[in-house]
């Protein structure tokens, strides 16, 4: 099994960016955590970060036939992007949505996700562990189906 891991806008700044909200862990460290778990689960992961909505849409299209699952933190595009939602619906690749922060505990505009209705489920609020939990849940889902 191969999993595409997409990190959306501003997540390249993790570690430096609002550490009170997002913690001090860097994106490289998150990818390393995922890599270790992927090895344990005997799956392959391909991480990609982009600040550009269209680049994320392109990556989702390119996943067709290449990856069996999608783990995505769409960052702020979670709350704005019909295009990313439509891309996930179009490729029909099982998707798990993750967030470092608990988006329901924060500003009202973060409470709505365009990605949630096209995802198997969402993990929000556990920092870097949200990704780790999300990967395990996604792989369990794929191995069952």
Name the residue with tokens 């609002």.
18
Q: Which of residues 49, 78, 81, 119 is near ligand DQA by CB under 6 A?
A: 78
Look at the alpha carbons of 18, 85, 116, 114 in this order and tell me if their dihedral is positive or negative: positive
Distance of alpha carbon 74 from alpha carbon 99, whole angstroms: 8
Token digits for 52? 């550009």
The answer to the question of whether 130 is labelled as a binding residue is: no
Distance of alpha carbon 49 from alpha carbon 47, whole angstroms: 7
Question: Is there a catalytic annotation at residue 52?
Answer: no
Nearest-CA neighbor of 115 among 92, 88, 138, 93? 88
Question: Is there a catalytic annotation at residue 104?
Answer: no
Can you say how many angstroms the Cα of residue 141 is from the centroid of all Cα atoms in its chain? 16
Q: How far is the CB of 63 from ligand DQA (least distance, A)?
A: 20
Q: Which of residues 30, 75, 85, 91 is near ligand DQA by CB under 6 A?
A: 75
The answer to the question of whether 145 is labelled as a binding residue is: no
Q: How far is the CB of 59 from ligand DQA (least distance, A)?
A: 17
Q: How far is the CB of 102 from ligand DQA (least distance, A)?
A: 8
Contacts with ligand DQA, residue ranges (CB under 6 A): 10, 73, 75-76, 78, 99-101, 103, 110
Catalytically annotated residues: 22, 99
Numbered residues of the known binding site for substrate: 73, 79, 86, 100-101, 110
């Amino acid at each position: 099994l191969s999993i595409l891991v997409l990190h959306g806008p501003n997540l390249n700044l993790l570690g430096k960016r609002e550490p009170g909200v997002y913690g001090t862990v860097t994106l490289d460290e998150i990818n390393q955590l995922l890599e270790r778990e992927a090895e344990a689960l005997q799956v392959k992961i391909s991480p990609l970060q982009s600040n550009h909505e269209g680049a994320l849409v392109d990556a989702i299209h390119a996943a067709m036939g290449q990856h069996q699952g999608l783990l995505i933190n769409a960052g702020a595009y979670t709350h704005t992007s019909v295009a990313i939602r439509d891309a996930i619906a179009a490729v029909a690749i099982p998707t798990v949505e993750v967030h470092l922060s608990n988006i329901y505990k924060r500003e009202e505009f973060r409470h709505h996700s365009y990605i949630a209705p096209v995802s198997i489920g969402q993990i929000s609020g556990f920092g870097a562990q949200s990704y780790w939990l999300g990967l395990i849940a996604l792989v369990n889902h794929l191995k069952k189906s």
